[in-house]
Chain A
Amino acid sequence: MSELLKVPTMAEFMAQGKQPEVLFWVGSAGSFDDRAKKITKAFVKILNSANVEFAVLGTEESCTGDIAKRAGNEFLFQMQAVTNIEVLNAYEVKKIVTCDPHSFNCLKNEYPGLGGNYEVLHHTQFIKELINSRRLAVQQDVYKDKRITFHDPCYLGRANNEYDAPRDLLKLINARIFEMRRHKQTALCCGAGGAQMFKEPEKGDMDINVLRTEDALETRPNIIATGCPYCNTMMTDGIKAKEKENDVVVMDVAELIANAQNL
């Protein structure tokens, strides 16, 4: 399987004197988290099948600093940002795509003020572009009539007003989409944002991810789709807490698209 994946690095492109079409920002979760790595690979399969000339930074990539910023450590964030911007600008990167809405938000909105100006896309937006320009086609029967609900990642939805791209992709694979009571602008957070992913929650009645999973289960889904590695972890844990792991799976939109192509 892995030999099929073509994952060139920026350094390799540079050595050949070429520029890729887009830089794929993998992110820390996409690089190291076992569940998120599957999303990374699914997205690479899509890129490969659409013949996208992309590159990754590989070992030259470092945490965006987004989590540190939201935890209050502006120093660490800016150290990370300035270091990453040096690398990105040295490679003359113009366009970035990422599967992580937190990286997406940070690169798109917070790097420009520190000298990093790029066109930044979330992977659902990029895949939509590929389909619109007929570089990628999806088969429509794999998920036909499956009940899917989409959990809006805060940093894609409220933070950047992108509600349509992931839903448009779900429509393409012919799934039946059932919206949760709280969706789009009123979607409930999965509980991971603002550095919560890395600490125990404060004392309360229940965990946020369990509440959000209850929202999702009300739609009686076969699949909970999302577009964020952290949301994915939180919702997967929520499904386990509700003992529904045999009935419901949590999947990234990129995985659904890749599966719909039998990639």
Chain B
Amino acid sequence: MEYLPNVLFAIALIVGIGYFTKNVKKLIRNIKLGQDVDVGGHKSQRWKNMAMIALGQSKMVNRPIAGILHIIVYVGFIIINIEVLEIIIDGLMGSHRIFSGIGALYGVLIGSFEVLAVLVFIAVVLFWVRRNIIRLKRFWNSEMTSWPKNDGNYILYFEMVLMTLFLIMNATDVHFQAMNSGNVVSQFIAAWFDGVSESGLHLIERSAWWLHILGILVFLNYLYFSKHLHILLAFPNTYYGKLVPKGQLNNLDSVTSEVKMMMDPNADPFATPAEGADTEEPAKFGASDVQDLNWVQLLNAYTCTECGRCTSACPANLTGKKLSPRKIMMDTRDRLEEVGKNIDANHGEFKDDGKQLLGDYVTHEELWACTTCNACVEECPVSIDPLSIILEMRRYLVMEQSAAPVELNNMMTNIENNGAPWPYNQMDRLNWKNE
């Protein structure tokens, strides 16, 4: 019976990490449902972007208040997790504060964790106030109802509880308080427990310790279902972020080969494909569903933490149009999850469910409201590119369905006929010179 806590701890750890791993595998499988895209080369630039944007939080501080609060929570999160290492070793070995043997440094470490824990707690409370009391507009757009809204608050509650448990755990640790090194914050909290017997303190300390580590394991597993996945995916996402100028939209290779053939005076339109040539079914132009997007775009969708900076800078959204770049990302993730579940339920194969991203999630009205101004791309603190998804769906609408608004069809007919978006003759192109 002596080893019961160790065994229980090991089981909790295995279950917690095991379930998380299972979901990570599912996540990778879902992302790989996307089309291939060339992300080779420029490794040093990519590492640099990841270091600056994800690790260095360089874009967060474009909005200073949220940016600085976020850095506190982020630094606290990373550093306090060193403590989790000790908790895991203690839990498995049955030891108590195994690192305390390292002497004065231990006090410095725990002391800084305690200070960070308080700062994180304050930052998280301020985040909650911004969301729920001040009601910042970007947290109350129409896509931020039910789960997305609750999700944001649950994350904050989680962090408040975890930080509180960490401090209570230290405050009620008689041995640790007696050491009187590193208890910079917890010594004051310890005073609240004056009069509690030593065994009572021990019980509180053990409870806080267990709830703290179980809370962390639950939180780890919550990530997959939450917008909070960004704490992991921000790193690969910034690594694979767009490197070319923002204005450069990709040229579709499948179109290039067809255009080249049409323009080649020697091409024989009736020729049968050469031996060994690609005889797959003709490429689909643009995207109507998540599988038509590339895997980086799907990674983008899982990375989005729904902060809404994109939407709050979008000229269409600011003037009351339905388009919200954040909603494009949320819809993409929701649909991808739906497709993933469909595959799970059908033994690894997707069965047509009569739904798709275009139309069932994202409406035509949203897509046609985009000015391609790149404000959303510029704003995103983790290098998400909503514009590329909007463009892919426009391509599908125009090239597969001829479903452009009628004025745009007129414009395109003009370009086809006379090389200008207006119905002017190409031969008049230099008339301005003499006017």
Which residues of A are interface residues toward B (Cβ below 8 A)?
2, 5, 7, 9, 26, 28, 30-33, 37, 40-41, 56, 58-59, 61-63, 65, 67-76, 78-80, 82-83, 105, 108-110, 113-114, 154-155, 158-161, 185-186, 188-189, 191-208, 211-212
Contacts and interface: CB of A to CB of B under 8 A. Distances in A.
Give the 9 A-B residue pairs with the shortest CB-CB distance, closest first.
Answer: A159-B247, A72-B394, A205-B320, A194-B372, A62-B419, A204-B320, A189-B373, A109-B248, A72-B398
Contact of B371 (A5, A78, A114, A191): A191
B259 interface: yes
A175 to B, nearest CB: 26
B281 interface: no
B420 A32 contact: yes
B423 to A, nearest CB: 10
A205 B433 contact: no
B44 interface: no
Contact of B245 (A7, A114, A161): A161
Nearest to B370: A194
A200 B407 contact: yes
Contacts of B398: 71-73
A76 B415 contact: yes
Interface string B402-435: 0011011011100110011110101111111111
A195 B411 contact: yes
Interface stretch (B81-89, B207-215, B249-257, B290-298): B249-257
Interface core residue of A40, A72, A74, A204 (most chain B CB under 10 Å): A72
Interface residues of B, number: 69
B375 A189 contact: yes
B247 A155 contact: yes
A40 B432 contact: yes
Contacts of A28: 419-422
Nearest to B313: A186
B353 interface: no
B424 A74 contact: no
Nearest to B406: A199
B365 interface: yes
28 contacts: A28-B419, A28-B422, A31-B424, A31-B429, A32-B429, A37-B432, A62-B419, A68-B415, A69-B249, A70-B394, A71-B408, A74-B286, A76-B416, A78-B255, A82-B260, A109-B245, A154-B247, A158-B377, A159-B246, A186-B378, A189-B373, A193-B371, A194-B372, A195-B408, A198-B408, A199-B405, A201-B321, A202-B368
A190 B408 CA distance: 19
Contact of B429 (A58, A185, A200, A207): A58
Given A28-B422, A71-B394, 14 more contacts: A5-B433, A31-B432, A37-B435, A72-B391, A72-B404, A73-B398, A76-B415, A80-B419, A154-B371, A188-B318, A198-B408, A198-B411, A201-B321, A204-B316
